[in-house]
């Protein structure tokens, strides 16, 4: 019902974001300033609660066809986590979720927010980090990527269970952003946007879930 109340908005990300984010202009101005200065914007309670609950329920379902995504590179970088990239195997609701990020209105909105070209292809997929899984430091500086998004959907997650986003540009004392529920991390992709995901503890409970991807440049 809350989504229908804003049916006059386009089907892009603005329609699904928490309306509280727009009550004070300083909130979105701060997110924009952080993105444009090369920082990571952490947006808590980012989306409408009913939308977050719906996507969490879809990712928690037993029929999501998760596949191990593990790779090692000559420079020492490696990652290990589970994903589902085949959209043909997704539920209709997961495909709709991706559509929120790929919508032309979303590209315009994030492009304005970040002052980056987001008019190219937008990608996105679910991620599940199980015990021992991680991603070593990297920048996301690949291909046409301009703005990265990581929508955290982990319920009742404790910081000591790992799976945190570590933003390497920050002082160590404030660089760690624990996994949580309905928190959106945004950053402009540059050669300096180094970050990593800390190892998930074997003692964790629940699921460390995200829906994440990139807005990309239309310029080739």
Query: If you average pLDDT over residues 76-103, what whole number do you get?
Result: 97
d(CA 142, CA 3): 35
Q: Going by DSSP bridges, is the β-strand pair 208-216/78-83 parallel, antiparallel, or unpaired?
A: unpaired
Phi, psi of 59 (to 5 degrees): -75, -20
pLDDT tens, position by position, 9-59: 568 999 999 999 999 999 999 999 999 999 999 999 999 999 999 999 999
- Entry field: residues in the chain: 220
pLDDT of residue 220: 77
Instruction: Tell me the pTM.
Output: 0.95
pLDDT of residue 11: 80
pLDDT of residue 10: 60
In this predicted structure, the answer to whether residue 1 has a pLDDT above a threshold of 70 is no
Query: If you average pLDDT over residues 79-99, what whole number do you get?
Result: 97
Long-range contacts of 119-122 (CB under 8 A, 24+ apart): 119/217, 119/218, 120/144, 120/146, 120/215, 120/216, 120/217, 120/218, 120/219, 121/216, 122/213, 122/214, 122/215, 122/216
pLDDT tens, position by position, 176-196: 999 999 999 999 999 999 999
* 145 token code pair: 């990527």
Q: What is the mean pLDDT of the chain?
A: 95
d(CA 84, CA 79): 15
d(CA 5, CA 215): 27
In sequence order, what DSSP letters do the residues of 120-139 get, joined into one string?
S--EEEEEEE-TT-EEEEE-
């Amino acid at each position: 019902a809350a989504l229908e109340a804003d049916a006059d908005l386009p089907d892009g990300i603005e329609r699904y974001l928490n309306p509280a984010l727009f009550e004070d202009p300083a909130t979105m101005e701060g997110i924009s300033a952080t993105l444009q200065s090369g920082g990571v914007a952490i947006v808590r309670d980012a989306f409408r609660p009913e939308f977050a609950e719906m996507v969490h329920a879809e990712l928690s379902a037993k029929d999501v066809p998760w596949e191990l995504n593990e790779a090692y590179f000559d420079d020492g970088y490696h990652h290990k986590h589970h994903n589902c990239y085949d959209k043909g195997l997704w539920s209709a609701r997961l495909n709709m979720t991706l559509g929120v990020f790929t919508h032309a209105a979303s590209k315009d909105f994030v492009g304005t927010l970040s002052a980056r070209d987001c008019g190219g292809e937008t990608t996105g997929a679910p991620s599940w980090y199980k015990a021992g899984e991680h991603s070593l430091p990297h920048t996301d500086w690949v291909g046409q990527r301009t703005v990265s998004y990581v929508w955290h959907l982990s319920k009742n997650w404790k910081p000591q269970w790992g799976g945190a986003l570590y933003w390497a540009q920050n002082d160590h004392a404030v660089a760690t952003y624990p996994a949580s529920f309905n928190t959106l991390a945004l950053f402009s992709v540059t050669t300096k946007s180094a970050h990593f995901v800390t190892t998930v503890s074997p003692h964790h409970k629940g699921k460390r879930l995200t829906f994440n991807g990139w807005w990309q440049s239309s310029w080739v």
